[in-house]
């Protein structure tokens, strides 16, 4: 029997592209893992050699680090790890005492004083915006044996948990999936969550509902034979389960049923998750089933972003009416105003849009002087709605194609998600492109005040790729201190 069909299927699945995508883009690289582990060892040594009153039984890795589902942070944010310190009870101590006394150990240490903060359940050490380590005291056998309780400082309550049993369950589910498939898929789904911004879901909730979609009998099936097949399989099962639950269901810790992870998810967040997964499932099924290699890459880029299959030639012949050299000539001449650009970006991906296209000739510079250093650590957020004052809206992604109706409300945040502080004001540069907008004299490119607070509402009308940029100006100096990258709205 010929092996040619098997090779062909393997090529269409883009297995090598998925493996490279995990290695180069999604997975936390070994250098960072080594640095993290070194920092954890230092923290353990500080605790063990301190005069902290509780007797330390052991340390337990927890969360995505322990589950091997940790990913490289997007936009260079911090990555974090969770460390439990299992201790014996101290007579007459309240839960807050364990957190506060652990905080004191690090706050009184010169090397950690500026890095430490305390929260409801843990003490956090932050290393120069690169990584964070959450250290949570966990009291062993306080009332009965065996038992483990974390400390809620805010409520001053002990909360029963089963972290080691949960990690063992994750390991078992991953084993059923074979080839480490569950862990690989979970990392990819976390990456999709972070780059699309279309849904918010705490990692423990996401990991649990994905792992719960794997069954003991999967070990004998071919549904996890490679990464794209495993992704399609698990995501389809996730969507089926979510569609069965119109309202937020219980999501219990499988190893401690009294712990309900769905408490970490609001009703609105659950609704957004349900909707986003359903939409992404359709795109995943479409990309997976696409028989043409180049078109399949294009479709996967719409799911996973432009870093998937970097360097691959995705200009499929069926999608292009000109060869590459003709397209290059179009870019050099005036791609902003050619309607073919919209079709090319929709079919082949946003990677076709080069940085020089972010500065069309009719764009106007702001009147404010630029500070000696202008930060780029701000980002534009965008939501589409049918009307300006509509009570419902949905988050849209950069380069997402939209119909010429309704409008987009732009907002700006610091890269960590926090709002622009007082003492600064925001201005927006809105630039239209496309043949119709330019013919009607609607190219704009000027700077505008916000419509409400820091937000700017823009109705959608003209076909083309349009740009929205935020400038942050300091009141006291009247200088631009921060400028966002352009946010691209593609109107079909």
Q: Would you write out the chain's pLDDT as a tens digit for each of its 492 residues?
A: 333 333 334 435 788 899 999 999 999 988 888 889 999 999 999 999 999 999 999 999 999 999 999 999 886 677 889 999 999 999 999 999 999 999 999 999 999 999 999 999 999 999 876 789 999 999 999 999 899 999 999 999 999 999 999 999 999 999 999 889 999 999 999 999 998 888 999 999 999 999 999 999 888 887 888 999 999 999 999 999 999 999 999 999 999 999 999 999 999 999 999 999 999 999 999 999 988 888 899 899 999 998 898 756 434 433 443 444 444 444 444 444 555 677 777 766 677 677 778 888 889 999 999 998 888 889 999 999 998 888 888 999 998 889 889 999 999 999 878 899 999 999 999 999 887 888 788 889 999 999 999 999 999 988 889 999 999 999 999 999 999 999 999 998
Element (H, E) at 177: helix 163-177
Query: What pLDDT does residue 348 have?
Result: 64
Query: What pLDDT does residue 80 have?
Result: 85
Which burial class, exposed, middle or buried, applies to 220 when counting CB atoms under 10 A from its CB (0-12, 13-18, 19+)?
exposed
364 and 446 Cβ atoms separated by less than 8 Å: yes
63-94 burial, b for 16+ CB within 10 Å, e for fewer? bbbbbbbbbbbbeeeebbbbbbbbbebbeebe
458 and 468 Cβ atoms separated by less than 8 Å: yes
Distances (CA, A) of 202 to 39, 366, 414, 443: 24, 39, 21, 41
Given this structure, which CATH class describes domain 369-491? mainly beta
Residue that has been written with the tokens 């607070």 in this structure:
453
Query: What pLDDT does residue 236 have?
Result: 96
Which two three-digit tokens encode residue 280? 């992404």
Cα gap 120→133, rounded to integer Å: 15
Query: What pLDDT does residue 10 have?
Result: 40
Query: What pLDDT does residue 30 have?
Result: 86
Cα gap 232→304, rounded to integer Å: 13
Cα gap 445→433, rounded to integer Å: 9
Query: What is the CATH code of the structural domain delimited by 28-161?
Result: 3.30.460.90
Helix (H, G, I), strand (E, B) or coil at 254: coil
Which burial class, exposed, middle or buried, applies to 432 when counting CB atoms under 10 A from its CB (0-12, 13-18, 19+)?
buried
Which two three-digit tokens encode residue 140? 């062993």
430 and 467 Cβ atoms separated by less than 8 Å: yes
27 and 68 Cβ atoms separated by less than 8 Å: no
Cα gap 385→406, rounded to integer Å: 6
Which burial class, exposed, middle or buried, applies to 139 when counting CB atoms under 10 A from its CB (0-12, 13-18, 19+)?
buried
Helix (H, G, I), strand (E, B) or coil at 463: coil
375 and 470 Cβ atoms separated by less than 8 Å: no
Query: What pLDDT does residue 395 have?
Result: 93
Q: Which of 429, 332, 449, 437 is nearest to 380 (CA)?
A: 429
Rounded to two decimals, what is the model's pTM? 0.64
């Amino acid at each position: 029997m010929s092996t040619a069909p098997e090779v062909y299927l393997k090529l269409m699945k883009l297995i090598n592209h998925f493996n490279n995508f995990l290695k180069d883009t999604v997975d936390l690289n070994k250098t960072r893992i080594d640095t993290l582990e070194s920092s954890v060892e230092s923290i353990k040594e500080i605790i063990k050699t301190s005069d902290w009153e509780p007797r330390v039984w052991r340390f337990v890795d927890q969360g995505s680090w322990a589950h091997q589902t940790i990913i490289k942070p997007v936009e260079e944010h911090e990555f974090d790890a969770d460390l439990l310190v299992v201790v014996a009870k101290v007579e007459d101590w309240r839960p807050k005492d364990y957190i506060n006394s652990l905080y004191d150990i690090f706050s009184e240490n010169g090397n950690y004083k500026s890095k430490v903060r305390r929260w409801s359940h843990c003490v956090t050490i932050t290393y120069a915006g690169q990584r964070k380590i959450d250290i949570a005291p966990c009291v062993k056998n306080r009332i009965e044996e065996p038992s483990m309780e974390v400390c809620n400082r805010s409520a001053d309550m002990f909360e029963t948990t089963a972290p080691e049993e949960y990690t063992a369950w994750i390991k078992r589910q991953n084993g059923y999936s074979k080839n480490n498939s569950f862990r690989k898929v979970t990392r990819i789904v976390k990456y999709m969550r972070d780059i699309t911004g279309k849904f918010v879901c705490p990692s423990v909730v996401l990991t649990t509902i994905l792992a719960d979609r794997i069954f003991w009998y999967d070990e004998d099936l071919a549904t996890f034979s490679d990464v794209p097949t495993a992704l399609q399989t698990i995501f389809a099962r996730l969507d089926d389960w979510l569609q069965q639950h119109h309202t937020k269901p219980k999501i219990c810790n499988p190893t401690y049923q009294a712990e309900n992870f769905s408490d970490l998810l609001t009703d609105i967040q659950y609704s957004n998750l349900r909707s986003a997964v359903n939409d992404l499932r359709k795109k995943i099924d479409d990309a997976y089933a696409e028989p043409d290699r180049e078109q399949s890459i294009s479709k996967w880029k719409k799911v996973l972003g432009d870093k998937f299959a970097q360097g691959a030639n995705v200009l499929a012949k069926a999608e292009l009416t000109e060869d590459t050299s003709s397209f290059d000539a179009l870019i050099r001449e005036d791609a902003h105003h050619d309607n073919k650009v919209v079709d090319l970006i929709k079919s082949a991906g946003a990677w076709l849009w080069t940085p020089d296209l972010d500065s069309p000739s009719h764009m106007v510079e702001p009147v404010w002087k630029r500070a000696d250093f202008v930060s780029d650590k701000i980002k534009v957020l965008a939501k589409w709605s049918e009307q300006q004052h509509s009570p419902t809206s949905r988050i849209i992604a950069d380069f997402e194609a939209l119909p010429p109706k309704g409008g987009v409300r732009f907002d700006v945040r610091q890269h960590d998600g926090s709002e622009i502080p007082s003492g600064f004001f925001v201005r927006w540069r809105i630039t239209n492109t496309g043949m119709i907008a330019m013919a009607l004299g609607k190219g704009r490119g000027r700077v505008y005040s916000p419509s409400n607070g820091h937000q700017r509402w823009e109705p959608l009308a003209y076909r083309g790729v349009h740009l929205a940029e935020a400038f942050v100006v300091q009141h006291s100096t009247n200088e631009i201190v921060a400028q966002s990258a352009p946010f691209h709205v593609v109107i079909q």
